[in-house]
Amino acid sequence: MSPASALSVSDLHTYLGESHVLQGVSFDVAAGGVTALLGRNGVGKTTTLRAMLGLVPRSRGTVALAGDDVTRLATHAIVRRGVGYVPEDRDVFAGLTVDENLRLAERGRDPRYELVYDLFPDLRRRGAQRAGTLSGGQQQMVAIARALLNDNRVLLVDEPTKGLSPLLVSEVASALERAAQLTTVLLVEQNLGVVQRLARHVVVLDGGRVVYEGVAEELLADHARVRQLLGVHGEGRPAA
Ligand SMILES: Nc1ncnc2c1ncn2[C@@H]1O[C@H](COP(=O)(O)OP(=O)(O)OP(=O)(O)O)[C@@H](O)[C@H]1O
């Protein structure tokens, strides 16, 4: 592990049912900015994030936060060490208001409401609205805001732009860009335009293993490699 790693996983193995989903995943996430975790559908990106947090069992391997081994800690203890998680399904409480969703996410003494409302002014206006009546994009904003409320060292963000309109994709990307100035972000993202805009480093998974690790700009400039690793053209379109 390099000294500047915010997060480091080594030889992570996870079985889900009979499936050996993670088969020795190892990579470092540099401190600051965005590292993108990429790969075709079903290669284990979400499972990697969940394994880091102890949400799925790891049969082998280690997870370290800024050099501290957290492998044996319970999920809540890892979260308390400063790891925020924005899951793929925008887990907002549909029956609660936007305000209530945010209040429930508060962890420390000084929740960062000013930052959150500065990034997402709409959430202040919609404080009394039930989260279940928000659009998908607005729900995503709530999900990201919940993680940003706390002063996390690392944010794990799973496909935040999935299914959003181009305008909302751009808004979510802007919010993550700002968030990444404050904290280290590990981002699972299929939209290569967003990866290009945000990520400095990329890690590519295939078959439950890391098959590429490097500078985002270099990978994205190599369209043949992108197509080989991700099955899409460099512009983010599916390969024919
Ligand atoms: N509970 C489970 N039991 C058995 N297999 C599972 C379970 N959950 C996920 N898997 C399998 O594990 C593999 C990895 O899933 P995962 O969701 O981590 O992939 P992903 O790279 O995030 O995919 P996507 O890009 O489609 O979200 C897939 O083949 C999936 O079918």
Question: Within a domain: residue 235?
Answer: no
Question: Within a domain: residue 206?
Answer: yes
Using a 6 Å CB cutoff, which residues line ligand 1?
A: 16-17, 19, 21, 39, 41-47
The one-letter amino acid at 25:
V
- Residues 31-50, mean pLDDT to the nearest whole number: 95
Contact 201, 50 (CB under 8 A): no
Question: Within a domain: residue 46?
Answer: yes
**Interatomic CA distance for residues 235 and 49, integer angstroms:** 26
Q: Is the pLDDT of residue 2 over 70?
A: no
Q: Is the pLDDT of residue 151 over 90?
A: no
For residue 108, what pLDDT is reported?
Answer: 80
- Residues 55-67, mean pLDDT to the nearest whole number: 93
Helix (H) or strand (E) holding 195: helix 192-198
Contact 186, 37 (CB under 8 A): yes
Q: How far is CA 187 from the centre of its chain?
A: 4
How many A from CA of 91 to the centre of ligand 1?
18
Coil, strand or helix: which one is 128? coil
- Residues 47-60, mean pLDDT to the nearest whole number: 94
List pLDDT tens digits, range 107-126: 888 999 999 999 889 999 99
Q: Is the pLDDT of residue 232 over 80?
A: no
Question: Within a domain: residue 167?
Answer: yes
- For atom 12 of ligand 1, the residue with the nearest CA is 21
For residue 239, what pLDDT is reported?
Answer: 45
ipTM for the whole predicted complex goes beyond 0.85? yes
Distances (CA, A) of 165 to 78, 191, 232: 33, 12, 20
List pLDDT tens digits, range 152-191: 999 999 999 998 889 889 988 998 998 899 899 999 999 9
How many A from CA of 104 to the centre of ligand 1?
29
Atom number in ligand 1 closest to CA 88: 27
- Average pLDDT taken over every residue of the chain: 91
pTM, whole model, 2 decimals?
0.91
Atom number in ligand 1 closest to CA 48: 18
How many A from CA of 90 to the centre of ligand 1?
17
- Residues 20-28, mean pLDDT to the nearest whole number: 96
**Interatomic CA distance for residues 24 and 51, integer angstroms:** 12
Question: Within a domain: residue 239?
Answer: no
The residue segments making up the domain with residue 222 are: 5-230
pLDDT band at 199 (very low <50, low <70, confident <90, very high): very high
Q: What domain count does the chain have?
A: 1
| CATH number, domain with residue 27 | 3.40.50.300
Question: Within a domain: residue 236?
Answer: no
